[in-house]
Amino acid sequence: MKQNVGRTDRIARIAAAVALAILTYAGIIPENLSVVVYVVAGIIALTGIVRFCPLYKPFGISTCREKAPF
């Protein structure tokens, strides 16, 4: 599995996941949506941690910088 999530993208994903979890835990997100938001936050965090986004693959998107050949 080739990494396709770069450093900035990774930080943004983890920050967004933490923010969603905090908003849900604080009760700002309605209770009937809390399970969905927790699942979405978990998926976002997981893609940031493993540095691979399955939705990027079919479109050929990669936010990783290309490494120098030497």
* Contact residues for 65 (Cβ-Cβ < 8 A; gap 6+): 6
Calculate what percentage of the chain has a pLDDT beyond 90.
83
d(CA 61, CA 5): 9
Predicted confidence (pLDDT) at residue 66 exceeds the cutoff of 80: no
Total residues belonging to the chain:
70
Tens of pLDDT, residue by residue over 8-31, are 999 999 999 999 999 999 999 999
d(CA 25, CA 51): 26
Predicted confidence (pLDDT) at residue 68 exceeds the cutoff of 70: no
Q: Which amino acid is at 64?
A: C
For the chain, the structural domain boundaries read: 7-56
pTM: 0.83
On average, the pLDDT of the chain sits at: 91
Task: For the chain, state the CA radius of gyration.
Answer: 15
